[in-house]
Amino acid sequence: MCSLAFHHKNSDEKYLCVCVVCAAPSIYLDFARSLLDPRIGVSAQNCYKVAKGAFTGEISPAMIKDSGADWVILGHSERRHVFGESDELIGQKVAHALESDLGVIACIGETLEEREADTTEEVIYAQTQVIAENVTDWGKVVLAYEPVWAIGTGKTATPEQAQEVHEKLRAWFTANVSDDVADSLRIIYGGSVTGANCRELASQGDVDGFLVGGASLKPEFVDIINARA
């Protein structure tokens, strides 16, 4: 399981509240929704690109909504690198999820080899471009930057490294989408976030929250939720 904590901003760039979302495996979506406080959102960890058909084992946005969830994570690094999902497929999933009125947490990020080859920007911009081409309502999208080399490894991008990438992403949106989207888009960080490092990461100007793995199952997740308090 993973969970998210991100912040809503107003037009003055002030954080108004924290949004918490629990991303449960698909067979537990209904169970999670039935137990959690209604103020906490529930997300699926993946979905397919079409509503129905002969796709044994896949889950559609309609199924997710029937389970009471209102978000879906798409493009997670494990879907890209373990299951071989392409940028194109992820873009198609984003389009269908948004058409189905689900909120989308769209993930991007570079591998260690790509970072060491100094191609981080090239990789994340290409991933972001395909996502952007399929978005109709940016108010329903959260962008999650998760450097693959920092996921489950105990390594975390330094606050400065996270801020650098988030700032460049926001500049990309200014240049390629609009100033309004660049200002309002919630860009969150994922990669070995813990109670110990969350406050320093949250202090960075362009880090709007977190995509959290193992630490979301521990009491320290409360500290992560309150990292900007």
Which of the residue ranges 14-18, 94-98, 194-198 would you say has the lowest mean pLDDT?
14-18
130 and 108 Cβ atoms separated by less than 8 Å: no
pTM for the model stands at 0.93
Q: Which of 76, 96, 110, 166 is catalytic?
A: 76
Q: For residue 69, name the pLDDT band (cuts at 50, 70, 90).
A: very high
Per annotation, catalytic residue among 96, 110, 146, 166? 146
> Which domains does the chain show, CATH number per domain?
2-9+47-226 (3.20.20.70)
Average pLDDT over residues 194-212: 96
pLDDT beyond 60 at 14: no
Residue 14 φ then ψ, to 5° = -95, 140
- Region 66-84: mean pLDDT is 97
- Per the annotation, the verdict on 146 as an active-site residue is yes
**Distances from the Cα of 16 to the Cαs of 7, 133, 167, 229, in angstroms?**
7, 29, 21, 11
Q: What is the pLDDT of residues 129-143, one digit of tens each?
A: 999 999 999 999 999
HEC-encoded secondary structure of the chain = CEEEEEEEECCCCCEEEEEEEEECCHHHHHHHHHHCCCCCEEEECCCCCCCCCCCCCCCCHHHHHHCCCCEEEECCHHHHHCCCCCHHHHHHHHHHHHHCCCEEEEEECCCHHHHHCCCHHHHHHHHHHHHHCCCCCHHHEEEEECCHHHCCCCCCCCHHHHHHHHHHHHHHHHHHCCHHHHHHCEEEEECCCCCCCHHHHHCCCCCCEEEECHHHHCCCHHHHHCCCC
CB 21 within 8 A of CB 225: no
Lowest mean pLDDT among 11-15, 117-121, 175-179, 191-195: 11-15
144-158 pLDDT, tens digit each: 999 998 887 777 789
